[in-house]
Amino acid sequence: MTTQTDIAIYRKGKILWYVYFIGAAIYTAFAGWLFAESSPLAWICLISAPVGFFYAWRAWK
């Protein structure tokens, strides 16, 4: 049986799901802005954003 202190220690090292979600949203916004500027960096942001949303989903589960 686990105690509440065990649960607190277990969760301490995990990144919360909304941190991933906010990062992915920022990457999505950057991708839109950089596409408007015709920057090749926009493709990197566009590819990275779904990865962040995937990690947010996994952390939330």
**16-38 as b/e: b if 16+ CB within 10 A:** eeeebbebbeebbebbeebeeee
What is the reported pLDDT for 25? 92
Q: Are 21 and 56 in contact (CB under 8 A)?
A: yes
Please tell me the predicted confidence (pLDDT) of residue 5: 58
pLDDT, one tens digit for every residue, the chain (61 residues): 555 555 555 555 677 888 889 989 999 998 899 888 888 888 888 888 898 888 888 888 8
